[in-house]
A and B are shown apart, each in its own frame.
Chain A
Amino acid sequence: GQNIDQPTEMTATEGAIVQINCTYQTSGFNGLFWYQQHAGEAPTFLSYNVLDGLEEKGRFSSFLSRSKGYSYLLLKELQMKDSASYLCAAMDSNYQLIWGAGTKLIIKP
């Protein structure tokens, strides 16, 4: 079957670094997405990886290892506004997204 696993909740301190992990099992693979979702709002796109390695975009970076079925989202210089849920989603062979339940990130001052 198809499955996405990510931690339910994480806590970090303002100004620090946090890594949110995601493992996936899908029928075929056409890339790994990360979305951010603030409470009561719609998900918004953060990153896309289809090749192994690290993609950096400002304070956010995303890593993919296709052989391990593993990705992580790295957030640096955490700000209070980064408090949100982070959704991992893998695209299967039919180009449909399989979503994880999301990781709620709590930032403390």
Chain B
Amino acid sequence: IAGITQAPTSQILAAGRRMTLRCTQDMRHNAMYWYRQDLGLGLRLIHYSNTAGTTGKGEVPDGYSVSRANTDDFPLTLASAVPSQTSVYFCASSDSERGSYNEQFFGPGTRLTVL
């Protein structure tokens, strides 16, 4: 693994189904993030984790949950998918101890369609 990986690459999901998007990084970064990107809108933060064992809510957390059991993995779960959750989902990480700024590195994204 080099950097951040996400799985699946794309998924079509029936409304009401449960879905977990996977994210793994091998850079030993403390902080990890989940964003959604929709046409005409900026990246919107769903949830974040500043360090293993802790998580926080972003701008649009409703309908999503996360866990951070270890440094490398940060899965995002949709408990009961709805069509408005159709989007491209990006996972990102940053080294919060690096210095005065936190450049974020992004995974390749998961394109999710909820029907």
Contacts and interface: CB of A to CB of B under 8 A. Distances in A.
Interface of A: 4, 30-31, 33, 41-45, 48, 50, 87, 89, 91, 95-102
Interface of B: 40-45, 48, 58, 90, 96, 100-109
Given A87-B43, A96-B58, A99-B42, A42 B90 contact: yes
* Interface majority SS (helix, strand, loop, mixed), chain B: loop
B77 to A, nearest CB: 21
Given A42-B90, A50-B101, A101 B106 contact: no
B103 A48 contact: yes
B96 to A, nearest CB: 8
B105 to A, nearest CB: 7
27 contacts: A30-B101, A31-B100, A31-B101, A33-B103, A42-B90, A42-B107, A42-B108, A42-B109, A43-B90, A43-B106, A45-B104, A50-B100, A87-B42, A87-B43, A89-B42, A89-B43, A95-B96, A95-B102, A96-B48, A96-B58, A97-B43, A97-B45, A98-B42, A99-B43, A100-B42, A101-B40, A101-B42
